[in-house]
Copies of this chain bind each other. A is one copy, B any other.
Amino acid sequence: MTFRSGRHFLQIPGPTNVPDRVLRAIDRPTLDHRGPDFAQLTKEILPGLQRVFNTKGPVIVYPSSGTGAWEAALVNTLSPGDQVLMCETGHFATLWREMAERLGLSVEFIAGDWRHGADPAAIEARLTADKEHRISAVAVVHNETSTGVTSRIAEIRTALDRARHPALLLVDTISSLACMDYRHDEWGVDVTVCGSQKGLMLPPGLGFNAVSKKALARNGSRRSYWDWKPILQSNETGYYPYTPATNLLYGLREALAMLFEEGLEAVFVRHARHAEATRRAVRAWGLELLCADEREFSSSLTAILAPDADRIRQIALQRFDLSLGAGLGKLSNRVFRIGHLGWFNDVMLCGTLAGVEMALGRKGGVAAAMEWLAKGG
């Protein structure tokens, strides 16, 4: 492999650049997961997670990917044969649907064009029509990592309420948590799904479920590893029913500390600002955003329609050591995605956009972004 001098720019929409502080926290001797120091660690982490999910209820941490946390949300609340309403917002919504079907759930998938978020009106209509309340849950992706389009969870909550429907609301925040405002309790979400490797600035390896009382009361499917109850019981004294991923938890403690030092509100403003700068660059390049509705712009990533998108990504990687996200599923080679989430700042963004601009062979994008950033946009 050719030697590459300097820092790799990991600007896929996750995993994100892990801060040195977090890497160094992980790089500590493993401890006894049944000893008093571990209990102390748990007691620092869990309240921090509640603050990030905006919930007073429990947050469960799994040694798993975000995909595992998806499965946990489904198997703790739903049984084979249960009906779930899902929305085709993009590739990850499609994968979550496939998982649900493999787990024996009966999924109704509201079609989408991968350029819009889940439609609150369509959800409300469908739930209103479900007089017998056969639909057990509505499952939505807050921020579609494949499209850079968000779904308006608060409005979806309102849709459920107006339909007076008792379905659970399950939300995937894998690429939105700690990037954009999110309110598990206020929005009446029953299970919020997340992973460690995006806004939480950790390497991959941890999955999360924030859980409402209503969700906890459900029986769900046969399960063991994913079962919330023994975990919650062990968590009470600071432990886990099986060996937790201790070193990643060291990193999580540090990452939470960093988020609170910056302030969650400041974190959200920073992400929004970089997203806007990126969109201005895209327009200056004469390219089209995939996201079709400005109310649904993502602060975490921007997906850009571009002919021969994979070739652009390849040039960016080979010539500029810059990793961009590929178009996934039906967007393959039609879009590329810029991640601007996690541990990031203005000059990292400018470097990123410069790499894209050079790979594209276009002009004016970085200049447009700088204009926005410089005026404190």
Contacts and interface: CB of A to CB of B under 8 A. Distances in A.
Interface stretch (A50-58, A149-157, A162-170, A358-366): A358-366
Interface in A247-306: 247-248, 258, 261-263, 266-267, 270
A188 interface: no
A351 interface: yes
A217 interface: no
Contacts of A7: 7, 17, 29, 343, 345, 348
Interface in A1-34: 1, 3-10, 12, 14-18, 20, 23-24, 26-34
A64 B29 CA distance: 19
A267 to B, nearest CB: 8
A27 B24 contact: yes
Contacts of A36: 317
Nearest to A318: B36
A246 interface: yes
A363 B322 CA distance: 24
Nearest to A317: B35
A5 B343 CA distance: 6
A204 interface: yes
A208 interface: no
Chain A interface size range: 35 or more
Interface stretch (A117-125, A131-139, A218-226): A218-226
Contacts of A28: 20, 23-24
A373 interface: yes
A309 interface: no
B322 A347 contact: yes
Contacts of A181: none
A68 interface: yes
A15 B204 contact: no
A67 interface: yes
A245 interface: yes
B35 A29 contact: no
A323 interface: yes
Interface string A202-235: 0111000000000000000111110100000000
Interface of A: 1, 3-10, 12, 14-18, 20, 23-24, 26-37, 40, 62-68, 71, 80, 98-99, 102-104, 195, 197, 203-205, 221-225, 227, 241-248, 258, 261-263, 266-267, 270, 317, 319-323, 326, 343-348, 350-352, 354-355, 357-358, 361, 363-364, 366-367, 370, 373-374
25 contacts: A1-B40, A3-B266, A5-B345, A16-B30, A17-B30, A26-B26, A26-B247, A27-B27, A64-B64, A64-B225, A67-B243, A71-B224, A80-B222, A102-B223, A102-B224, A102-B227, A197-B243, A203-B246, A204-B244, A245-B248, A320-B347, A322-B347, A347-B354, A347-B355, A366-B367
